Structure 1
Amino acid sequence: MLSNPVLYSPEDIARITEGRLRLPPVVRHPITGVSSAPGTTRNGDVYVTVDAFRGIAVRRARMAVARGAACIVTSTPAVSVDLPVVLVRDPNKAHEALARHARSQFQGTAVAITGSVGKTSTKDLITHVLRHCGTVQATFLNQNIGRFLRDVLAELWSRTDAAVFEVSMTKPGDILAKASLVKPDIAVVTSIDTSHIGNHEDGAVEWILEEKASIFESLGPQGIAVIPDEDPFFPELKAKAEARAVRVVSCGTNDESDIRLLSYQMHPGESHVEISVAGEIVTYVIGQPGYHHIRNSLLCAGVLHASGRDLAAMRSLSRFSPTGRRMERHALTMADGGALELLDDSYNASPASIRMMLRYFSTRSAVKRKILVLGDIRELGSRADDLHRSLMEDVRSSAADLFIAVGPHMKTVFDQAGLPGTSFDHADEAASHLVEIAAAGDLVSVKASHGTELNKVVNALRRSAKKVSNAEPSWSVDQKVG
């Protein structure tokens, strides 16, 4: 987008939030952004002290000022800084008021993305291609909780061409509440699976379906839904989408798919893809291997098609890089000068995303050893044991030479899979073991939920190497579809 447009004056902030403005003798800086976290405040931001009162609000306001804040919104009169201060009754409601105001002025295409697996990667893919069609604002990394979503909404510039929002849930009703703020023109659901199923007392995947599909209720009268027709819940998703959307764009491998995958080839560091879009053949390269990127790119093409944008933008994906620690590939130069390939997918995990990673892992060849490191999946509630055990056959079929399991649930998988390797209670133990056994020529793949802390395994292995660089393995997979 154009660099740092002025979004608000202090008077605008006070009017929108129904607050009381306290001005210093001189107003020095224009307001060019919005932040609700002092650690991420940038020069020119209005900092809103959400979830912070009295002494905490004072400390955080000072931190934000030190980072360049141009204005403070707070309910704490004791906040005394040489900047405009807007005193409000409730900073959280003031923050939401700014978000609603900016969204009401926004004239571009708003895209909201949810799903059990692949939200952040799909958001990154869609943002990447839309930037080759015009100006774009988007949620940063995987910052999909309420206040970060409101930050991006509140700093929407009316003349931006498109905005992309990742919408997550931690409790029932979350997705609809967040999506109702976004008011998307296009709603994308990546998948329906058991991720975070422990957040609901009955542990039924049907609850996940209802929650994810609630995003369609936020669509306007001309809203469009983009959904994967390979998903087991596609008929239910489609029915719920059709109840609210003026149009449903299906993406997959079926003859009836609006966005249909025809063939793909996975090469060193990239994937070559051929799709059909309403009868038009489109070919492109994704600058990352892995079927999950190919599958998610279909949703990306669906957004371009739904919004009437040029499908030639798909060719920009040759320069795509995912958010860190999501199938992030590194070449590690070991002590003997040989190379080890590290696949870091340690940021998050679900049963479905582990299966997707194993699908990629099983195709890999031309390596000395394939070492699979899996840790516990969090937020599965009472179904944790069963859902971990459901991965056993996938692990057995992964062609792993060594299997290292971390955590009590993944230990159960290890005990039953019958593969060489070992299990550990904690990531620190696994990290020490892997540093001892890893050698040049190995492929090491690491995946778990963030809370299992397998980033410690990745960091230990990286520290043990003489050099870390981007990986370029020599292998390929060709696949015709249908």
Structure 2
Amino acid sequence: MQGSDNEMIQYGAYRLKQVKNSNTALFTSKRIINWKKLEPFTPLVLVTDWPYRQKEIPKGVITIKVANVEEAYWKFVHFYRYQFQIPVVAITGTSGKTTTKEMIKHILSFEKKVTATILSSNSRTAFLQYLLSIEDDTEVAIFETAVGSPGDISNAGNYFKPTIGIITNIGAHHLNYCKTLDGYIQAKGEMVQAIDPKGTLIINIEDVNTSKVDMTSFRGRIIKIGKDASCDFRASHIRYTQDGMQFILHHKMKSYDIFIPGFGEHQVYNALASIAAVYEMGVTIPEAAVQLQSFRQLNKHLQLFEGINDSILIDDTWSITTTSLSAALEVLNALGKSKKKVAVIGTITDLGSSGYIIHEQAGELIHDIGVDVLITIGDHAKIIADHAVKLGIGVPVYSFKNNVLGYQLLHDIVDANTIVLIKGDMYSKSIHELASKMKKSSLPTE
């Protein structure tokens, strides 16, 4: 309808608030009334089926009239994706997806041009821009595909059309939209259909909920990781070292010594999935092992700090699920064998009507794995403490609504013989403030 067809499209949007740069293609059926808000972002390409009169539209807006905006949008998406015949990795899982994605990116970035999800920014509204981040010189793309509700992974598959899919594990999360654990498992299982039919699916076969995913329709290749003898990438002789985890990787009748920074057996599984993925892209296991040695653990993911009163603090305040709580408690016990072990636990979010049951399950985990002192912060987190007491945990248990009294107690009970785990999520201001108050400095890693 209007404007030049020589403008380069660099960004995409399907909502007005997504327009933040010039050279954006905006696909919308809604009538734009306040054009002044869009003036800073011209030239702008508007793809619309609204019956505008030409004089309504400012000169800086290139206008393309289509019969159906949604149909035009998906034609644009599919056209763009199929310009690139490169490996595209999609990663989902309740825990470990960001770390696994960063490990893969770290290994490949030494020799390849990689585009990837930024940290854990994996919102469905970012899919289009992540797709458009693939450029002519991009050699590999790696994207997190989180589940907020059913259909999210299928939607991601429509954008990215992954050639390699990874399911790290499936716990209990986002039950406010998935309603039940079975619904959540089914939502994660959408990865099976999202992958290219000739692609590869990497799974942890020892994860109980992942084993419930129906994979019978998948015609690609399934790669199994874990400790079982049937695994394609198998870990054995797993042990803690001063700076991380050491293990032996078995693949095709050969064995390799692997070191990975970051503590916990779950970190070994992240490394197995990462090595399996890059191996599919032609990186040898020895090459991957060398690159993993310089991997840096993510902030607030089981980070060690020198705490107040010469204690040791484990900051694991990025997210909390029962899956990640179990992993964190195992790390607390492994690093604190000769110390007093204190667990400070916050509320588990996004659980909907299953909140009470999941918090009770967290209390059961703490009772079974064991700590020397349990402190919960927040109203819902009190359910964790109450259930642990009900099960007969037999250690001092405290519950506080906020961090003020919690810090006072910790200040009185921690010393050089104490290791403290603070476990919560990024949305808990109280938990983050407490972790900040408890830190003296970061522990040396060498």
**What's the TM-score once normalised by structure 1's chain length?**
0.77
- What is the aligned partner in structure 2 of residue 347 from structure 1? 318
- CA-to-aligned-CA distance 1:77-123 (integer Å, 9 cap, x gap): 99999976667789988776654333111121001111222222222
Q: Counterparts in 2 of 1:333-344, with a 5 A limit?
A: 334=308, 339-344=310-315
> What is the alpha-carbon distance in structure 2 between the residues aligned to residue 211 and residue 113 of structure 1?
13
Unaligned 5+ segments in structure 1 are 1-19, 474-482
Unaligned 5+ segments in structure 2 are none
The code of the aligned residue for 1:253 comes to K
- What is the aligned partner in structure 2 of residue 247 from structure 1? 221
1:111 aligned to 2:89?
Answer: yes
Which residue of the other structure, out of 162, 173, 177, is the alignment partner of 2:155? 177
> What is the alpha-carbon distance in structure 2 between the residues aligned to residue 38 and residue 287 of structure 1?
42
Contact 1:367 1:442 in 2 (8 A): no
The code of the aligned residue for 1:122 comes to T
Which residue of the other structure, out of 325, 333, 357, is the alignment partner of 1:362? 333
- What is the aligned partner in structure 1 of residue 400 from structure 2? 424
Deviation at 1:256, TM superposition (A): 0.9
Which residue of the other structure, out of 319, 330, 351, is the alignment partner of 1:380? 351
Give the aligned length. Answer: 434
Report the aligned-residue RMSD. Answer: 3.7
> What is the alpha-carbon distance in structure 1 between the residues aligned to residue 28 and residue 297 of structure 2?
30
- What is the aligned partner in structure 2 of residue 156 from structure 1? 134
- What is the aligned partner in structure 2 of residue 468 from structure 1? 441
- What is the aligned partner in structure 2 of residue 400 from structure 1? 371
> What is the alpha-carbon distance in structure 2 between the residues aligned to residue 450 and residue 51 of structure 1?
35
> What is the alpha-carbon distance in structure 2 between the residues aligned to residue 56 and residue 176 of structure 1?
34
**What's the TM-score once normalised by structure 2's chain length?**
0.83
Contact 2:333 2:341 in 1 (8 A): no
Which residue of the other structure, out of 294, 300, 305, is the alignment partner of 1:330? 305
**Residues 1:430 and 1:313: Cα distance change in structure 2 (over 3 Å):** same
- What is the aligned partner in structure 1 of residue 296 from structure 2? 321
> What is the alpha-carbon distance in structure 2 between the residues aligned to residue 344 and residue 82 of structure 1?
53
Q: Counterparts in 2 of 1:36-435, with a 5 A limit?
A: 46=24, 59=37, 61=38, 65=40, 71-73=43-45, 99-201=77-179, 203=180, 205-237=181-213, 240-311=214-285, 312-332=287-307, 334=308, 339-365=310-336, 369-415=340-386, 416=389, 417-427=393-403, 430=406, 434=410
Contact 2:340 2:372 in 1 (8 A): yes
> What is the alpha-carbon distance in structure 1 between the residues aligned to residue 413 and residue 62 of structure 2?
58
Secondary structure of residue in 1 paired with 2:138? coil
Secondary structure of residue in 2 paired with 1:241? coil
Deviation at 1:433, TM superposition (A): 5.1
- CA-to-aligned-CA distance 1:273-308 (integer Å, 9 cap, x gap): 211122222222212122211111111122123333
Deviates more, 1:139-148 or 1:316-325: 316-325
Contact 2:44 2:62 in 1 (8 A): yes
Deviation at 1:254, TM superposition (A): 0.8
Deviation at 1:138, TM superposition (A): 0.5
Q: How many percent of aligned residue pairs carry the same amino acid?
A: 21
> What is the alpha-carbon distance in structure 2 between the residues aligned to residue 52 and residue 124 of structure 1?
38
> What is the alpha-carbon distance in structure 1 between the residues aligned to residue 20 and residue 298 of structure 2?
21
Contact 1:175 1:211 in 2 (8 A): yes
Which residue of the other structure, out of 446, 459, 472, is the alignment partner of 2:422? 446
> What is the alpha-carbon distance in structure 1 between the residues aligned to residue 84 and residue 283 of structure 2?
18
Deviation at 1:463, TM superposition (A): 4.9
Secondary structure of residue in 2 paired with 1:319? coil
**Residues 1:156 and 1:298: Cα distance change in structure 2 (over 3 Å):** same
> What is the alpha-carbon distance in structure 2 between the residues aligned to residue 274 and residue 51 of structure 1?
56
Secondary structure of residue in 2 paired with 1:263? strand
> What is the alpha-carbon distance in structure 2 between the residues aligned to residue 53 and residue 460 of structure 1?
48
